[in-house]
Each structure stands twice: as structure tokens, then as C-alpha cells.
Chains A and B, each alone.
Chain A
Amino acid sequence: MLDLAFAPSSVAIVGASANPAKFGYKVVEYLQKGGFTGRIYPINPKAEQICGLSAFGSLSDVPGPVDLAALLVPAAQTLDAIRECAERGVRVAVVIASGFAEASDEGARNQAEMTRIARQAGMRLVGPNCEGLINFHKGFVLSFSMMFLGQIAGPISFISQSGAYCGIVSSRLSRAGVGAAKVVSSGNEGDLTAVDYLEYLAADPETRVILAHLEGIRDPRRFSRVIGEVAARKPLVINKTGRTETGRRQAASHTGSLAGNDRVLGALLRQRGVVRTRNMDELVDAGLALASQPALPGNRVAVISTAGGLTVEMADLLGEAGFAVPPLAPASQEALKSLVPWFGTVANPVDVTGAMASEPAAVGKCLDVVLGDPAIDAVAFVLTAVGDPEFSRVVHTRILETRKPILICWTAGRERAGEALEYFTTRRVPVYESTVGLVRGLSALRDYWRFRLRGEFREEAGP
């Protein structure tokens, strides 16, 4: 059924509008602009045409099957619209309107009734109170938000109970050159829940990494089981907000008072192999690393940079995050000495100095030395102001050749890094814009692979 939600052949827009300022217009417009190739049926009793398409007075006037109906009508008209969808044999209804369980007791009753009608008819519901759903590989953009247009398709799928997160996260994934596969705004989860989407995406071949932003958890015992099954198949990152403890009961024991709700959730995610994040930046950084990097077999990192000050900062941050930045093998240090100017450093961190920003070939050789050191599991490459795409090409060839993760942090910003940075983005290699971002990405890799590899993961004590 969820196949039909993400890849319908025919879509009806109930509450479509001929007024370009209305959501009911934008949904049709964006479906077209996104490149949807199936049939689009705008439903509006008054309009003749919407976005150049013939409008229909009601769902019953539509010829042929309707796989999916998007409901753009206000909350008060939603129940009637749902009944019509059920009678018409619609398979999936996406309810955009707000004003249900999130708003009032009456809204909660209407939401329950809507779910009852849908289930009786064998129809599934997305929402209510949601921003829509997107399948970037099919050019299927079902949303009133323009955030989803012009994005590249990629390997990361995203489930979000917050509508705002959907557009921002997916556009950041796209901007980094990685991109999203499927995005769903699950809203109030009146029928389909985050767990349903998780199960579907775990089996989806276009999804290699799953991100989820959750505020509350429906059906927690099933959630507890399913997240473990999902994480055993592909990386799963869960961003949970609402951590502040509220309404905690009086505990009779020490244990009870120590086992707060958020702590328990954190423990559960860890024991199921789910990477946990606490805000949007962490979520995006984790997703980018997991989608773009090979396996990380241990926690020993080499820091290499054209800027000495940043190597020290990076080593500090890595140490605080539980990584080791061990000295390179004597042979590696010797090899580096012949490449790096005398005022650089070769132990680890490796400061190749700014003088080497204009010597890409030598930097490539330095990278080869570091990657070849058996005591190193991953490389954190910190760049400042390099404008030469040749530099990027040299680094990129190593990324393609090596089996070790190489994470790049480019602190100069997109404006200054220009073409050299674009070289990576157009080749789907994400570049972090801050040292902390890189460490967040690397930490997500570590959390995931430490769980997957269990005893095989080599862990060395930090500084």
C-alpha cells in the first residue's frame, strides 16, 4: 500500500484552487513542476481548469482509478471528503489540514473518526496536519511547500512528525550534493505511523539511510522491536526532541528516579543500534556521513590540514567525542617529512601548511601516506581557502580508491571555496562547513559501525 503512497499512477487534489496564492493551487503546480508523470485530477466544483488541467466537480466525476487523494480542504470539511474518498475507492489519502488531535478534543475525535472510516474502507491515511510526501526518484512532489522543488534525488529517506523539518532537512541534503530518496511528513499519525514508514523504507531499495525526526512515539512496544530490525538492515538516525522531563511520577526507588523518560529512550536507541541526534544540524551531519562513507572499523583518526590552528581544534574536538588521534607510524612520519615543509608537523595532526595549498600532487601523496598507515581508521581533512579544483580532484581520486572514510571540512565557506568545493558537491561528496559538523558526522559513523561490528570495532582510548 505504501508503494501507492510514494508512487501513485493517479492523484486527485481535493480542494484544488485556481487562485495561485492558495495551497490548493500550489500542490497542483508543484506536482507538475516536480515532474510527476502520472495523471493529476484537480477537484473543484467551480473551476474549469487549474494549472492547465481540466478540473472535476467531485471525486465521483473522475474517470478511472484514483490511487491517491490529497485533501486540501479545511478541517471542518475533511470528514466528508474522507467519506467520498472511501466510496470512490481511493487507496491512500493525504490529509494536509491542521485542526485535529494537535488542536482540541473535538479535533481528536474527528481524527479518530477519519481513521475509522479509512480502515473500514481499506484506505490508508497520511497525516492529518502534515506537509505531504515526496519521492524524488519519481519526481513525485506532493506538497504545498516550494522547499522540495529543484532538489537532487539521493539515497537518504526522511520521516518527520514536524512539517517544517521535512523541507529544510531535504534541501540541506540536496545542497550538500547527496540528496533525499523519499520524504514523508507524518503529521499527527492518525493512521500510518512513523513505524509503518520505517518498515517500508527498510525494504525500499532506493533508501540506503533513514532519518527520522520524532516528537512523540506511537505504539512504543512495536517501535522498540521495529527500530532494531531496521537498524540491522541499514543505518537509522533518530532525532528526538522534547527531552525535558514532564509529569514524571514519584519514584519509590533510586532506580525509578534515575530512569528518566529521555534516558530510557536514549538507552533503547543505543541498544538497538540506532544513531541518536538531538537537533537538526546533528541529524543532517549524521545522514550525510552515513550515506557517503564506507565502513568505519575503529576510532583512530588522522587529522590533516593546510591550517595548523585548525588541526589542533579538530584534534581537541575528536578527543572530546571519544576518538583517538594517535601518532602515525615512524615510517609514515618519515615519508611525510620528505613531502611537508620543515615548519609543518607530521606526527598527527598533520599540518601540511598553507604552502601546500598550491601543490595538489604533494598533498595527494601525503594523503596516500596517511591512508596507508595501519594505525589509522579514518581521515579528517580540514581545508581553508583552496580555490583550485585540481586540489579537489586529487583528494577525490583518493576517496574513490580508499576503503577508509575521508571526511572533509571546508571552513572558508561556500562563497570563497567556489569551484573547488563544487567539484565535490557535483560528485556527491558532502563537505562539512565546520569542524564540529565533521565530528558530528564521524561520531554517527562510529556509533553505527561500533554496533554493527560489535567486538570487531577497534577502540583505542582517547587522550
Chain B
Amino acid sequence: MRAQLAAARAEGRRALTEIEAAALLGEYGVPVSPFRLARSAEELDAALRAVAPPWAVKIVSPDIQHKTEVGGVVLGVRSAQGARQAFADLLARVRAARPAARIDGVLVQHQLEDAVAEMLVGVSRDEQFGPVILAGLGGIFAEALDDVALRVAPVDRAEAAVMLRELRGIRLLTGFRGRPAGDLDALAALIANLSRLAVELEDDVAEADLNPVLVLPAGRGVVAVDALVALR
């Protein structure tokens, strides 16, 4: 994996594709929602057979880091017909928004719909202290509500659990107003695994966002749905 990271950096790339990022995270025991890459209509049909619905359909491009900002994500797709439509629409939108971007294809990903909450878990690099691990509510909530918990890596599972309790928004994961409690143990394990990645790959990885990480009801785990890995 280090060789792959080095190769990507040598190409002058600023980030891994989502597929590369998923492979890297998988190697460090960070669960990623199953997906298939489709580069053509035929491959799309094969992907729809391999991955269980409902689906999220997302653009894959080495030149696009924030996919939603160019209309590169369609969620809640439930039929093959809908998936083919989403495939065509998505390519058209992205080509219009970013004509120069290279497009590797689209990703068909199983979309979990019974998550208790969506979290952001990420890595940053402090100039003085090195890799930093961050957790907050997913999507744009962490930023908008300014509610994040930080640690300088390494972070073990016990410390990750303490870290999560610092979040004001953690109430959403602990059975707030009759909602099921989320699998916080699995979330702490994910944070510890990401910390290991951040420390071991400090020389290559500048930043990472797993956003969202879906937190399933207690006992059912967590799964990263979208991953951005920015290179140094």
C-alpha cells in the first residue's frame, strides 16, 4: 500500500480515489460499505447484481474530491431502471460542472438506511504535533455546530471512547428520545484503527475524512460510506 501511496504522490496527485481509499482503509480494519466500480452500461448492470439495493451512485474521479459539490452523488436508488437513469444524469452533470476532470466511472454502493447517526471521523496533520484524529457529527454538522473532539495520535479504543463522550451531539447516539443507541464500541474501534493508519502513514497521508461513517444500532457495527484521503 505504501508503494501505491508513493506512486500516487509521484503522479502529483493530491488525493486517492474513493476506490483506493476504501482499499487502504480496509487494510487497516476500517469497514467500508460494499461497492462496485462501473465504467459502462454493461458494468453497471453487473454492479447492480453484485451489490444489494438500495444503492448510492457516486462519481469516481482523481480530480474531484468533494463529489456532492458537483452533483456527483445520487442516493436512495432502488431499481435497476433508476440506477441507469442516475448513471446517465450523474455523468452529464459532472461533465457540465467540471469539463476537464478525468472520470474513472461510477461507484455503485450499498446504502444502509437504518443508521442511528452519521459521524465524521478524520485525520489531520498538525505542524507541531503530527497526526491528529477528529470526530464529530457527520455531513456538515460538525463544522456548522462547531462540535468536535480532537486527539493527537495515537488514540487507543479507551481514549476514543472518552473522546466521543466529549461531543455535545453524542446524545444522538446514546438513545436520545427513544431512538436506538448506536454501536459506540465499534465507532471507538474504528477511531483506533484510523489512528494506526495515521501514525504508520504519517509521511504520505496529509488528511482524511470518513464522512459519513454510519453508526448502526448497538451490536451491528459501523461502516464508512465515503472516504477522502488527501496526500502530502
Contact = CB atoms under 8 A, between A and B. Distances in A.
B33 interface: no
Given A253-B122, A254-B142, A271-B152, A259 B15 contact: no
Interface stretch (B80-88, B90-98, B175-183, B203-211): B203-211
Contact of B152 (A217, A253, A257, A267): A267
Interface residues of A, number: 21
A259 B230 contact: no
A251 B206 CA distance: 10
Interface in B84-135: 120, 122-130, 132, 134
B196 interface: no
A258 B148 contact: yes
Nearest to B228: A253
A255 B124 contact: yes
B159 A271 contact: yes
A265 B132 CA distance: 10
Contacts of A252: 14-15, 65, 206-207, 228, 230
Given A217-B128, A220-B128, A264-B126, A255 B134 contact: yes
A251 B129 contact: no
A258 B148 CA distance: 8
A462 interface: no
B4 to A, nearest CB: 19
Contacts of B127: 261
Given A259-B132, A268-B152, A253 B209 contact: yes
Contacts of B129: 220-221, 224, 264-265, 268
Interface pairs A-B: 3 shortest CB-CB: A255-B122, A220-B128, A267-B150
Nearest to A258: B148
B150 A263 contact: yes
Nearest to B134: A255
A416 B179 CA distance: 57
Contacts of A217: 128
Nearest to A257: B143
A448 to B, nearest CB: 15
B159 to A, nearest CB: 7
Nearest to A252: B230
Contacts of A254: 120, 122, 140, 142-143, 209, 211
A251 B140 CA distance: 15
Interface in A251-296: 251-259, 261, 263-268, 271
A253 B150 contact: no
Contacts of A220: 128-129
Contact of A258 (B126, B143, B151): B143
B72 interface: no
A224 B126 CA distance: 12
Nearest to A271: B151
Interface string A210-234: 0000000100110010000000000
Interface in B156-211: 159, 206-209, 211
Interface size class of B (residues with CB under 8 A): 20 to 34
Given A252-B206, A253-B209, 8 more contacts: A224-B152, A252-B14, A254-B140, A256-B125, A258-B136, A261-B128, A267-B132, A267-B151
A253 B132 contact: no
A255 B126 contact: no
B75 to A, nearest CB: 19
Contact of A264 (B14, B152, B207): B152
Contacts of B207: 251-253, 255-256
B122 to A, nearest CB: 3
A271 B151 CA distance: 7
A202 B65 CA distance: 47
Interface string A311-347: 0000000000000000000000000000000000000
A259 B128 contact: no
A170 B116 CA distance: 52
Nearest to B211: A254
A420 B32 CA distance: 67
Nearest to A220: B128
B7 to A, nearest CB: 19
B151 A253 contact: no
Contacts of B124: 251, 253, 255-256, 258-259, 264
B211 A264 contact: no
A259 B133 CA distance: 9
B189 to A, nearest CB: 18
Contacts of A264: 124, 126, 128-129, 132, 150, 152
A252 B65 CA distance: 9
Contacts of A255: 120, 122-124, 132, 134, 207-209
9 contacts: A224-B152, A252-B230, A253-B208, A256-B206, A258-B124, A261-B126, A264-B132, A271-B152, A271-B159
A252 B232 CA distance: 11
A253 B120 CA distance: 11
Contact of A253 (B126, B130, B140, B230): B230
